[in-house]
Amino acid sequence: MGGFPSEFELSTDARDHLIDAFQKFVLGLILTFTLFPIFMMIATSLKSESELYRDGLHLLPSTLNVQNYVDMWARFDLVGFFLNSLIIAGTTTVICLTVGSLAAYAFSRYEFPGKGLFGLTILSTQMIPGVLILIPIFILYITVQREFGVPMINTYHGIIFIYSTFTVPFAIWMLRGYFDTIPAALEDAARIDGCTRLQALYRIVLPLAMPGIAATGMFVFIIAFNEVLFASAFANDGVTPFAIGIQKFQTSTGTHWTEMMAAATVSSVPLLLIFGLFQKQIVSGLTAGSVKQ
Amino acid sequence: MGTVELQQLRKRFGSGDDAVVAVDDLSLELEDGEFLVLVGPSGCGKSTTLRMIAGLESATDGDIRIGEESVTDFEPRDRDIAMVFQNYALYPHMTARENMAFGLKMNSSLDEATIDDRVTDVAQTLSIEPLLDDTPSELSGGQQQRVALGRAIVREPAVFLMDEPLSNLDAKLRSQMRTELQALQETLDTTTIYVTHDQTEAMTMGDRIAILNEGELQQVGTPLECYNTPANQFVAGFIGSPSMNFLDVTHDAGTLTHEAFTYELSEATTELLEDQTDYVMGIRPEDLDLTPDGAIDADAEVVEPLGDLSHVHARVGETLVTATVPAGTQLPAGESLTLSVPESRLHIFDHSSGEAVKNSDGPTQEQPLIAAE
Amino acid sequence: MSASIEQFTQSLRERMTVPSLGLDDDSRFAYWLLLPSIAMMALIHFIPMVWGFVISFMEVNDSTFIDWMSAPISPLKQYGAIFQPDTAVGAEFWSSLVETFLFAFGTTIGVYVLGLTTALLLNKSFRGKFTARTLVLIPYFAPAVATIYIWRMMFTADTGVVNELLVWLGVINSTDEVFWLIGNNALISMIVVNIWKNFPFAAIMLYAGLQSIPEQLYEAASIDGASRWATFRYVTLPQLKPVTAVIILLMIVWSFINFTIPYLLLDKNPENGEVLMLFIYNFAFQNGDYSLGAALSIILLVISMVISYGYYRATMQSSVQGGAV
């Protein structure tokens, strides 16, 4: 009596356990893949250069060596690089979000002639190879410098203008999805309550879209923080950002890996901290914008 | 004051081949303090009309006048109107109090204290004072509804615009709010345009009803006018529940012929009919009597007991008709029966144009309960 | 005074009826909202793009580029060279193009498969789920330049941990180290790094897609007696289709024009596996032949547009037919 069903249940139970264990194992593998480079970064930053070149597999440093964290500052102006990156990426984020949210709002709320064409045009900018437009922009900037006396190359505003434009299409795409989730009736109500269209946008829609804006801002910041090609052409001397600065650990005599990893570790901390703090908003903001059909 | 006038209002969406005319040549006039219900099936242009009056949609053609002034090109905020939305559209990031005060803050030069007094006053009228510091997400649907109403009332506008404000409430709350809203409108005496797809709301709430279909105005009149003297077959079918029964007939020398019966008309009625032969008979369910020797042969299909009365669904030829019968009437399915209708209650519509040729003699004005002798 | 201004603008308005273009207020407002973005993109994207297009028909190099307008015009010199196998650029163009395709498709497949697996695993409830989700996202949010250098260090032949691990596992001998950053291996390395960098993005998008699938669909499937696999095949995958389309398109295009990974990982070395972006960079900036770089870029742009368009058409078509991903 009941022997068969209980046996049956037991076997499915066991199978479920097996599947469960297998899934945990796969997730473990993925997390190892994800985190191993980060682990190596920190481990290497704590090794001495001679230990790095020792033969054989030794993942952990034999002694904790914090010397790299001291020396790296002396070799280059890392603080300066990092501040430059914050200024450039930070300002880019503000401009991009301002400009992008206006356009995203137009796409989200209004039907206007040429809407599809505009959308396609904005999308197509994502396919332009940077090297194609680098030289023309360089010539453009030189011309502006020469004709109007406004310095453009190796200035904050020069590179910020480029980055703001580069990130705008992505911001429009993400924010549009987020605005779509906010009922249009709210702006109708606001306009009847005495707002102009623009007031309805910044008094009602923008405050409600804050999580999406924060998530988008995070992405824009990261894109601007990590850009290399244009930075190497347009942001040298006093405005060199971290992405270019860190390459200086690679010298003609070899790469100072241990110090470079120390610098990489230090530079990762603020970004990962921001990400950790706003994780929830970032994930929900990112997904609200993108999962729409 | 709060008069509203729409002159040949037109709204076209899109352009070229895929242009859609949502509202076509609509003219309407509202007196100050009047309660007008704009009713029609979904997609009939009633919401678009309301949004044009609000200034949320621009009119393609025509003129909108509020209080003698043409506001067609005005921004919504300059039109002296307030609106209640279907989903309430309360600002989620503001408390009920802030929601109600927002309009006055944006649109008037009143100081904070005065605004606050007015909000509190209105909140008292609507008995939502204890809720003023809650955010919309903390309120129930009915409470949100009241805050949305309060937000409109506190503005003291010339005109209220309401876009299906009760459609998100459950049935019981809806009928309660219906009464309350009517009483409120009577007290405030503010001109109100109320959009709904629900003919019950239209019948019970409006001083007058304007019925729209496919962007065109079908009829404007008091609820009873629309019910008893519908201008056309659409109005006749839309107003009233259950709907009017329609039977396709041909006319020949005072006799209406349906596939299942014939109906003799009096001479006076015959004179109303022209030479053409195709007409539609319209009979309200309550005018259709179950009599042993009626002119119309039918087969019973199903009886729906509602308690106070019952609806009989029966087949006349191929057409399904509904008749209202006393509660407790029992009819087995398939049972043959005959129905009769007095000619005075009969509606006749032109088959091709749908225009009413003859309407019933039902009252078109409300009558005092005890008629003065 | 002010009256005359009013009159003046009034008469202007009467004479210039064109600007309204028959647009309603909404459209005009929408255009105002778009104006800053469009203006910026015109300056940084479109004008330079057209400009680059023009340059590709000239002979602009590092000695003439400031005064580029006086550079000689030779309409098909660059394109001719690219498609002739006996020129310096033509000899390697096709292999570079193939390399680029492999890079893009390898990355896209890897990112999608790994992303979907991760998303499915994260979609269960278990202890530490929030932590796992946070950790998975780290590669995407860590500074890219730093992380690419980490990988480069790990891939280094003599001291890199990848070879050390392989030796330790007994896969290779300590004497024959694999050169991960040269030749065909370089392609594999680039794909691995690109997958590592981008799969969290796919994972989180797909995770959100999974979360948005209504529970009733799974209940209905289980009532219909669908197996795990059938549920995945007929409920989950079709529901993920819109997100999948976005991810795949973005991955292909982003890989095509990815510069940072090949540039930093392979140390700008033309001997290494060259995807087009690096190939172009070397011709344009190492050799200073801007016109050739521009011509190559135009070809790359056309290819990405054709692929995107084709992909767009294909996904739209299959969605009409109701097929799964």
- Residue C23 is encoded by which pair of tokens? 């647009």
Percent of chain B residues topping a pLDDT of 70: 98
**Is A193 near chain B, with CB under 8 Å?**
yes
Q: What kind and span of H or E run contains C317?
A: helix C290-320
Does any domain span residue A60?
no
Mean pLDDT, to the nearest integer, of C70-92? 82
CB pairs under 8 A between A and C: 282
> 3-class DSSP state for residue B167?
coil
pLDDT confidence of residue C209:
85
Binned at pLDDT 50, 70 and 90, residue A286 comes out as low
A132 and A193 in a single domain? The answer is: yes
- Residue C297 is encoded by which pair of tokens? 């870029």
A41 and A79 in a single domain? The answer is: no
- Residue B5 is encoded by which pair of tokens? 């006038």
Contact C174 A102 (CB under 8 A): no
> Do B211 and B221 form a contact (C-beta atoms < 8 A)?
no
Do the bridges between strand B356-358 and strand B262-264 make them parallel or antiparallel, or are there none, so unpaired? unpaired
Binned at pLDDT 50, 70 and 90, residue C269 comes out as low
Classified by CATH at the fold level, domain B242-358 comes out as: OB fold (Dihydrolipoamide Acetyltransferase, E2P) (2.40.50)
- Residue A231 is encoded by which pair of tokens? 């930075």
Instruction: Measure the CA dihedral C189/C194/C200/C202, to 10°.
Output: -120
Query: Which of A218, A10, A180 is closest to A96 using CA atoms?
Result: A218
pLDDT confidence of residue C264:
87
Sign of torsion, CA C142 C143 C146 C149?
A: positive
Compute the distance between CA of residue B46 and CA of residue B23 in angstroms, rounded to an integer: 8
Binned at pLDDT 50, 70 and 90, residue C319 comes out as very low
The owner of tokens 């005075």 is: B344
Compute the distance between CA of residue B120 and CA of residue B97 in angstroms, rounded to an integer: 8
pLDDT confidence of residue C74:
81
Contact C31 A30 (CB under 8 A): no
More confident: B190 or C13: B190
Closest residue of A to C243, CA-based?
A: A291
pLDDT confidence of residue C34:
94
Q: Where is mean pLDDT largest: A74-78, B258-262, C284-288?
A: B258-262
Does any domain span residue A61?
no
Q: How many domains does chain A have?
A: 2
Q: Is the ipTM of this complex over 0.90?
A: no
Chain B residues within 8 A of C28 when measuring between CB atoms: none
- Helix extents (H) in chain B: 46-54, 96-107, 112-125, 141-153, 171-188, 199-205, 223-228, 233-238, 267-272
A29 and A80 in a single domain? The answer is: no
> Do A80 and A62 form a contact (C-beta atoms < 8 A)?
no
| pLDDT single digits (tens) A225-239 | 989 999 988 998 889
Does the structure show a pLDDT above 60 at C272?
no
Q: What is the secondary structure of chain A as a DSSP string?
A: --HHHHHHHHHHHHHHHHHHHHHHHHHHHHHHHHHHHHHHHHHHHTS-HHHHTSSS---S-SS--THHHHHHHHHS-HHHHHHHHHHHHHHHHHHHHHHHHHHHHHHHH---TTHHHHHHHHHHGGGS-HHHHHHHHHHHHHHHHHHH----TTSHHHHHHHHHHHHHHHHHHHHHHHHHTS-THHHHHHHHTT--HHHHIIIIIHHHTHHHHHHHHHHHHHHHHH--HHHHHH--GGG--HHHHGGGGEETTEE-HHHHHHHHHHHHHHHHHHHHHTHHHHHHHHHHHHS--
Q: Where is mean pLDDT largest: B263-272, C38-47, C149-158?
A: C38-47
Chain C residues within 8 A of A111 when measuring between CB atoms: 26-27
- Residue B43 is encoded by which pair of tokens? 């997609």
Binned at pLDDT 50, 70 and 90, residue A7 comes out as very low
Burial state string for A184-207 with b = 16 or more CB within 10 A and e = fewer than 16: ebbbbbbbbbbbebebbbebbbbe
In degrees and rounded to multiples of 5, residue B319 shows phi and psi of: -95, 135
| pLDDT single digits (tens) C58-72 | 888 877 777 777 778
Closest residue of C to B74, CA-based?
A: C25
| Nearest CA-CA distance, residue A11 and chain C, Å | 16
Binned at pLDDT 50, 70 and 90, residue B210 comes out as very high
The owner of tokens 């005005």 is: B74
Compute the distance between CA of residue A228 and CA of residue B352 in angstroms, rounded to an integer: 74
Does the structure show a pLDDT above 80 at C306?
yes
Does the structure show a pLDDT above 50 at C322?
no
Q: Out of A37-41, B216-220, C166-170, pick the least confident.
A: C166-170
Do the bridges between strand B336-340 and strand B347-350 make them parallel or antiparallel, or are there none, so unpaired? unpaired
Sign of torsion, CA B174 B175 B178 B179?
A: negative
pLDDT confidence of residue C9:
56
The CATH code of the domain at B4-233 is 3.40.50.300
Q: Residue type for B139, please?
A: L
Residues 6 or more apart in contact with residue A19 via CB below 8 angstroms: none
A25 and A154 in a single domain? The answer is: no
| Nearest CA-CA distance, residue A291 and chain C, Å | 6
pTM higher than the cut 0.90: no
- Out of 1.20.1250.20, 1.10.3720.10, 3.40.50.11440, 3.30.565.10, the CATH code matching C86-320 is 1.10.3720.10
Does the structure show a pLDDT above 70 at A124?
yes
A166 and A260 in a single domain? The answer is: yes
Q: What kind and span of H or E run contains B319?
A: strand B319-326
> 3-class DSSP state for residue B194?
strand
| Nearest CA-CA distance, residue C10 and chain A, Å | 24
pLDDT confidence of residue B294:
85
Does any domain span residue A67?
no
Sign of torsion, CA B157 B197 B312 B297?
A: positive
Does the structure show a pLDDT above 90 at B13?
no
More confident: B108 or B145: B145
Contact B54 A185 (CB under 8 A): no
Q: What kind and span of H or E run contains C271?
A: none
Binned at pLDDT 50, 70 and 90, residue C112 comes out as very high
Does the structure show a pLDDT above 70 at C8?
no
Contact B77 A189 (CB under 8 A): no
Q: What is the secondary structure of C69-106 as a DSSP string?
A: GGSPB-TTHHHHHHT-TTSHHHHHHHHHHHHHHHHHHH
Neighbours of C188 (CB within 10 A): 17
The owner of tokens 């030829």 is: B317
In degrees and rounded to multiples of 5, residue B149 shows phi and psi of: -65, -45
In degrees and rounded to multiples of 5, residue C208 shows phi and psi of: -65, -40
Interface of B with A in 48-87 (CB under 8 A): 51, 54-56, 75-77, 81-83, 85-87
Neighbours of B232 (CB within 10 A): 18
Does the structure show a pLDDT above 60 at A1?
no
- Residue C5 is encoded by which pair of tokens? 């201004």
Does the structure show a pLDDT above 50 at A293?
no
Residues 6 or more apart in contact with residue A279 via CB below 8 angstroms: C133, C134, C137
Find the domain containing A14 and state its range.
3-45
Does the structure show a pLDDT above 80 at C3?
no
Tell me how far apart the 2 most distant CA atoms of chain B are, in Å: 77
CATH number where A174 lies: 1.10.3720.10
Binned at pLDDT 50, 70 and 90, residue A10 comes out as low
Binned at pLDDT 50, 70 and 90, residue C33 comes out as very high
Percent of chain C residues topping a pLDDT of 70: 88
Which of the 8 DSSP states describes residue B340?
Answer: E
Average pLDDT of chain A to the nearest whole number? 85
Give chain C's contact residues with B (Cβ, < 8 Å). Answer: 24-26
Contact C205 A291 (CB under 8 A): yes
Does the structure show a pLDDT above 80 at C263?
yes
| pLDDT single digits (tens) A81-121 | 989 999 999 999 999 999 999 999 999 999 888 888 888 88
- Residue B242 is encoded by which pair of tokens? 């259950």
**Is A126 near chain C, with CB under 8 Å?**
yes
Does the structure show a pLDDT above 90 at C110?
yes
Contact B75 A196 (CB under 8 A): yes
Q: What kind and span of H or E run contains B246?
A: strand B245-252
Listed by start position, the domains of chain B span 4-233, 242-358
More confident: C11 or B247: B247
Does the structure show a pLDDT above 50 at A22?
yes
> Do C215 and C75 form a contact (C-beta atoms < 8 A)?
no
Compute the distance between CA of residue C220 and CA of residue C227 in angstroms, rounded to an integer: 12
Mean pLDDT, to the nearest integer, of A22-37? 93
Compute the distance between CA of residue B341 and CA of residue B263 in angstroms, rounded to an integer: 10
pLDDT confidence of residue A33:
94
Q: Out of B289-298, C285-294, C315-324, pick the least confident.
A: C315-324
A14 and A159 in a single domain? The answer is: no
Q: Out of A180-189, A210-219, C82-91, pick the least confident.
A: C82-91
**Is B78 near chain C, with CB under 8 Å?**
no
Listed by start position, the domains of chain C span 1-44, 86-320
Of A41, A110, A132, the CB nearest to C150: A41
Mean pLDDT, to the nearest integer, of B285-306? 90
Does any domain span residue A207?
yes
pLDDT confidence of residue C95:
86
In degrees and rounded to multiples of 5, residue B359 shows phi and psi of: -120, 170
| Nearest CA-CA distance, residue B54 and chain C, Å | 14
pLDDT confidence of residue B207:
93
pLDDT confidence of residue A53:
76
Q: What kind and span of H or E run contains C44?
A: none
> Do B48 and B26 form a contact (C-beta atoms < 8 A)?
no
Contact A192 B77 (CB under 8 A): yes
> Do C88 and C78 form a contact (C-beta atoms < 8 A)?
no
- Residue B230 is encoded by which pair of tokens? 């519908």
| pLDDT single digits (tens) B222-243 | 999 999 999 999 999 999 989 9
Binned at pLDDT 50, 70 and 90, residue C194 comes out as very high
Q: Out of B57-71, B213-227, C213-227, pick the least confident.
A: C213-227
Question: Best residue in B10, B15, B52, B58 to probe C by mutation, most C CBs within 10 Å?
Answer: B58
A13 and A125 in a single domain? The answer is: no
Binned at pLDDT 50, 70 and 90, residue C23 comes out as low
Q: Out of A65-74, B136-145, B210-219, pick the least confident.
A: A65-74
A13 and A140 in a single domain? The answer is: no
Neighbours of A116 (CB within 10 A): 8
Residues 6 or more apart in contact with residue A95 via CB below 8 angstroms: A160, A164
In degrees and rounded to multiples of 5, residue B5 shows phi and psi of: -135, 125
Chains with 3 or more CB pairs closer than 8 angstroms to C? A, B
Compute the distance between CA of residue C106 and CA of residue C89 in angstroms, rounded to an integer: 25
Does any domain span residue A221?
yes
Chain A residues within 8 A of C259 when measuring between CB atoms: 129-131, 228-229
Burial state string for B123-140 with b = 16 or more CB within 10 A and e = fewer than 16: bebbebeebbebbbeebe
The owner of tokens 């099936």 is: B41
Binned at pLDDT 50, 70 and 90, residue A65 comes out as confident
pLDDT confidence of residue A70:
84
A96 and A196 in a single domain? The answer is: yes
Does the structure show a pLDDT above 70 at C22?
no
Percent of chain A residues topping a pLDDT of 90: 34
Average pLDDT of chain B to the nearest whole number? 90
A81 and A40 in a single domain? The answer is: no
- HEC string of B126-161 equals CCCHHHCCCCHHHCCHHHHHHHHHHHHHCCCCCEEE
Does the structure show a pLDDT above 50 at B373?
no
Angle formed by the axes of helices A67-75 and A257-277, to 10°?
A: 100
Distance between terminal CA atoms of chain A? 53
Compute the distance between CA of residue B126 and CA of residue B120 in angstroms, rounded to an integer: 10
Mean pLDDT, to the nearest integer, of B251-279? 87
Closest residue of A to C168, CA-based?
A: A57
